[in-house]
Amino acid sequence: MPVDTDDPFERHQVDPQRIDLHQRLASTLRDRGLATFGEISDRTAFADLVRDLAALYPHPDSGPDGLTLLHARNGSTEAGQRGFTDSELLPHTERSCLPTPPRLLMLVCLAPADHGGESVLVDGRAVSEELSDSAPETWSALSAPRTAYFGGSAGYVGAVFEPADPETWTIRLRLDELVRFAPHAVPHVKILREVIDRHTMILRLGKGQGFVLDNTRWLHGRRSFTGPRVMLRALGEPRSRLPLERGFRLA
């Protein structure tokens, strides 16, 4: 298990070079839904790692190797393309517009920003537990069917919190121009955002550092930045050597 430390990167760190990587990573993801790693030298090394862990998920912006290069591009102003700018990226789950979003999101830093650009991570289980305990009306509103429409012309109608089975839940969220909340849910979005703020964790990744997270549990985003910040992202479904159930259980 990760060491007990006040540094969030070290607290969740798993060594990708360990012989028992799959066992330790599966244990960490089942327990915490997030694992960090370092010592990834280049795109080839990252591709080798993620293909070992997951069957990669196609994405409109990915290259032939299944990886997406994230950096500020000139003229990236289309809806849903904020990840290719230097602007703030609000916490969200990946591919929320699909009926079954990819289970794993994996990210590595090739070049950190000069200023800003920290990764913003939020444990959806912690958000769910606080809402269900302290704001049950908000929890009910955001877990009701047809709470929100996610995506553009071909999107998905669902809820922020959806049951994966009778004992587990998943989170699906975005807070940009590609989500429309139902009237019954709109008053509760402010409460949701306040709870998200209370459970936000900040990671400043250095060159060769990254993380893998459960996309059905964790939200991810980014602070605005200046300088040549370059990241690689992969999406995928865990291979059999990473036995993980979809979603999370509430305490």
Give the DSSP H/E element, type plus range, for residue 26. Answer: helix 21-32
Measured distance CA(163)–CA(168) in Å, rounded = 6
pLDDT beyond 80 at 75: no
Topology, domain 8-238: Double-stranded beta-helix (3.60.130)
Phi-psi sector, 208: left (phi>0), alpha (psi -120 to 50), beta: left
As given in the structure block, the two tokens for residue 31 are 């327990």
Token look-up 């606080």 returns 130
Other Cβ atoms less than 10 A from the Cβ of 6: the count is 6
pLDDT digits (tens, 9 = 90+) for 89-100: 999 999 999 999
- Report pLDDT for 5: 55
Beta strands in the chain (DSSP E): 34-37, 54-56, 68-70, 89-92, 104-111, 115-116, 119-123, 148-150, 156-158, 161-165, 168-171, 179-181, 200-203, 210-214, 218-222, 225-226, 230-238
Tell me the DSSP string of 120-135. EEEEHHHHHHHHHHH-
pLDDT of the residue at 97:
94
d(CA 246, CA 214): 9
- In this structure, which amino acid lies at residue 156? Y
CB atoms within 10 A of CB 211: 24
The answer to whether 75 and 232 have CB atoms below 8 angstroms apart is no
Q: At 233, phi and psi to the nearest 5?
A: -125, 145
Residue closest to 237 by CA, chosen among 83, 59, 105: 105
Model pTM score: 0.92
Degrees to nearest 5, angle at CA 113 with 233 and 235: 5
3-state secondary structure of 30: helix
Q: Please give the mean pLDDT across all residues of the chain.
A: 92
What are the C-alpha distances in Å from 18 to residues 5, 15, 142, 226? Answer: 20, 6, 41, 35
Report how far residue 84's alpha carbon sits from residue 93's, in angstroms, rounded to the nearest whole number. 16
Give the C-alpha separation, 251 to 127, whole Å.
12
pLDDT digits (tens, 9 = 90+) for 137-196: 999 999 999 999 999 888 999 999 999 998 999 999 999 999 999 999 999 999 999 999
pLDDT over threshold 50, residue 2: no
